[in-house]
Amino acid sequence: MAGELIQPADPKVDTYLARMDFYEFIKIPKKYDWTRRPSVGRFQEVIEVDSEARIDKIVPGLSSILQEQCSLNDEDMRGVEYVLSEVIGNVFHHAESSVNAIVCAQHYPRKERIELAIVDCGKGFRATLEENPQWAGTIHTAQEAVKRALQCKVTGKPGNHTGEGLFFTRELIAENGGTLYVHSNDGWIRCRGRYEQGYTGLEWPGAIVAVSVKTTGSLKCKPIFDRYAPPEKDFVLLEGDDEIQF
């Protein structure tokens, strides 16, 4: 796909894109004239997740930003890593994207927030959910597909995938008081806390999931997981003729 790169008018934007490895990502190397301080705990350069196996290597770097800036304990870290893995994994499970998943993140100290984005150029939520007989023929717009994808256990591949990644992301961001933005094809939804608003327009081939996390807000995962997946019902052990639930 051919395209044209328009140089940013603001030199600071140009410098920022260079430091975030944006130019390197689109294979237009650009000199960065300043000392590159470590990004760990502060931001994640634009990075391509080229396989599902690589998710486990990418997620710790993303979650370390949240841990550093939001003072997460180990339990909350595990929850955040699970949610991130699920959302990024959707690209490989459902999207059939012409490019790999693209991820980046940034901490903004003065605004007391962390922004994180996951992008693909796949077929979008509507086409994905249509593969599930439960939803086939019932979704009429891209915005409706996005709204349904944010619900619990909604997936295009029942029996193989949980359909929990976006749902738990929404719950976590709502509890945090931050913002979740999900865009697929020409439909998108913005969730601020518990308030949701839908829009149509701005066509995007595939999906964009972006979150803005308040560093002053909560990121407690366990209460959310316990609310929707109580630990006593997590699995069943068959012992003789009896069922023992855990």
Q: Locate tokens 């395209």: which residue?
A: 3
122-149 burial by CB neighbour count: b if 16+ within 10 A, else e?
bbbbbbbbbebeebeeebeebbbbbbbb
Per-residue pLDDT 10s for the chain (246 aa) are: 556 788 889 999 999 999 999 999 988 878 888 888 999 899 999 999 988 889 999 999 999 999 999 988 889 999 999 999 989 988 888 777 777 889 999 999 999 999 999 999 888 899 888 888 888 888 999 999 999 999 888 877 766 556 788 999 999 999 999 999 999 999 999 999 889 999 988 889 899 999 999 999 989 988 888 887 665 554 444 444 444 343
Residue 80 belongs to a domain with what CATH number? 3.30.565.10
| Dihedral angle of Cα 207, 153, 62, 235, to the nearest 10 degrees | -160
Q: Tell me how many domains the chain contains.
A: 1
Find the angle CA(190)-CA(1)-CA(117) to the nearest 5 degrees. 25
Lookup: tokens for 180 = 């979740």
Domain-embedded: residue 143: yes
The DSSP annotation for the chain comes to ----PPPPSSHHHHHHHHHTTHHHHTT------S-----TTTEEEEEEE-SGGGHHHHHHHHHHHHHHHHT--HHHHHHHHHHHHHHHHHIIIII--SS-EEEEEEEETTTTEEEEEEEE-SSHHHHHHTTSTTTTTT--SHHHHHHHHTSTT--SSTTT--S-HHHHHHHHHHHHT-EEEEEEEEEEEEEETTEEEEEEEEEEEEEEEEEEEETTS----HHHHHHHS-GGGS-EEEETTEEEE-
Domain-embedded: residue 29: no
Q: Which domain holds residue 126?
A: 38-245
34-47 burial by CB neighbour count: b if 16+ within 10 A, else e?
eeeeebeebbbbbb
Domain-embedded: residue 190: yes
Lookup: tokens for 121 = 């150029």
Find the angle CA(98)-CA(99)-CA(102) to the nearest 5 degrees. 145
Domain-embedded: residue 222: yes
At residue 182, what is the residue type?
V
Query: 100 with 48: CB under 8 angstroms?
Result: yes
pLDDT of residue 197: 92
Domain-embedded: residue 4: no
Lookup: tokens for 245 = 């639930």
Q: Locate tokens 């237009």: which residue?
A: 28
Domain-embedded: residue 187: yes
Domain-embedded: residue 18: no
Domain-embedded: residue 21: no
| The overall pTM is greater than 0.75 | yes
Find the angle CA(95)-CA(100)-CA(106) to the nearest 5 degrees. 105
